[in-house]
Amino acid sequence: MSVEEVVAKVFSVDPSEITDQSSKETIAEWDSMGHLSLITSLEDQFKVSLAIADAMEMTNVGQIKMVLKNYGVSL
């Protein structure tokens, strides 16, 4: 499953609508609780344990990909 697919699943949107610029500004469901659900789903999907500081930096899909790559995830 791709980052875009995880984001789409967590926020119940079509994966084709997700781009690197997708963020809480473009996805209505991406609030603080939604962000926690997203982080948990990303950790489960990509088998990583994210530091709180890194999780807080993940404010759009592009940044999520960058952080995951820093954890050695191949995207």
Give SS3 for 18: coil
Whole-model pTM over 0.75 = yes
pLDDT at position 7, please?
Answer: 98
Q: Which domain, by its residues, includes 64?
A: 3-70
Whether residue 24 lies inside any domain: the answer is: yes
Q: For residue 56, which of 32, 25, 27, 28 has the smallest C-alpha distance?
A: 32
Whether residue 16 lies inside any domain: the answer is: yes
pLDDT at position 73, please?
Answer: 97
CATH assignment of the domain containing 41 = 1.10.1200.10
As a whole-number percent, the residues of the chain with pLDDT over 70 amount to 100
Whether residue 38 lies inside any domain: the answer is: yes
Q: What value does the mean pLDDT of the chain take? A: 97
pLDDT average, residue stretch 60-65: 98
Whether residue 75 lies inside any domain: the answer is: no
pLDDT average, residue stretch 13-34: 96
- Please tell me the total count of domains within the chain: 1
pLDDT at position 48, please?
Answer: 98
